[in-house]
Amino acid sequence: MHFTDFPPAGMPKSSGHDPASVVIIDYGLGNVRSVANALQALGADVQLSRDPADFKDADGLILPGVGAFGDGMSNLRDLGLIPHLNELVLNQQKPFLGICLGMQLMAKSSTEGGHAEGLGWLNADVVRFPADLQDLQASDSGKSGLKVPHVGWNDVTVKRTCPVLGLPGAVHSYYFVHSYILQCHDADLIAGSCEYGIEFPAVVQQNNILGVQFHPEKSQKHGLALLGNFLHLARNNRANVLYPQMLPESSQGDSIQPTQGERSC
């Protein structure tokens, strides 16, 4: 695989001389190995850990995840990680990226399986896709139903400047597997949106906190570019940085097939 679209012009790729150090939080519900492989291919110093001492030394933290919201919160709670994450992310402003379920866990609550409290970092709640999703582009009648979970490639439109995305108005393709979405009560959180019967937040940002509903590690060149931009953010240990020309002009990802038995979030 070639990474010719990363890094952006004028920005050096992470190297062995100055790699970004990232901890992927291993809390029992993440596709941690595929995320680690993508980051290592981009030159990052990657560690899988559930030890808060490792979190403190890292330039950035990543919380991946597939599965149920309640299980994710229970695992974080049982491992005693929540107070440490609150301190590092909210108080010390360490760059943080939540992927799929990892993004959803940053919300106040979820309706999945009843009601479950989240980390509460974002003014948002997690809800299931509406039961009557219609693909308005599939037929003139607008009565073609869409399947849930939402699985496959879809376009994300950049809504505002964000450290890991391109310029506002740009459209890029990423790979999704999910049944639940963020319902943001603060529209300013939304950095990128996607349409699947309804428009929903695909990328959110609040200062040093970033979240993506899709799987960048499965999203080929655009996903790698996004992860690469997070590495630069982590290495520089600052938020609210816009890296120009971060993604290639083409928005089409290469073909990828869903993994059999793949779980959604």
Domain boundaries, the chain: 21-236
Q: Which of 150, 194, 217, 232 is an active site residue? A: 217
**Across 128-137, 194-203, 236-245, 249-258, least confident range:** 249-258
Would you place residue 142 in the very low, low, confident or very high pLDDT band (cuts 50, 70, 90)? Answer: low
Helix (H) or strand (E) holding 22: strand 21-25
Q: Which of 100, 162, 184, 265 is an active site residue? A: 100
CA dist., res. 210 & res. 102, Å (int): 10
pLDDT of residue 253 exceeding 50: no
What's the mean pLDDT in 240-253? 37
DSSP-derived 3-state class of residue 231: helix
pLDDT of 21-71, one tens digit each? 999 999 999 779 999 999 999 999 999 999 999 999 999 999 999 999 999
**Across 44-53, 95-104, 237-246, least confident range:** 237-246
CA dist., res. 178 & res. 99, Å (int): 11
Question: Which residue, chain included where needed, has tokens 């490792």?
Answer: 54
Q: Which pTM does this prediction carry?
A: 0.84
pLDDT confidence of residue 243: 35
For strands 190-196 and 198-206, give the pairing: antiparallel
Q: What does the block give as tokens for 53?
A: 């001492």
Strand-by-strand arrangement of the 21-25 sheet: 45-49, 21-25, 60-63, 96-99, 209-212, 198-206, 190-196, 150-158, 171-178
Q: Name the CATH topology of 21-236.
A: Rossmann fold (3.40.50)
Known active-site residue 100: yes
pLDDT of residue 187 exceeding 50: yes
Q: Which of 172, 215, 222, 232 is an active site residue? A: 215
Known active-site residue 215: yes
CA dist., res. 250 & res. 148, Å (int): 27
pLDDT confidence of residue 149: 95
Q: What does the block give as tokens for 190?
A: 């939304």
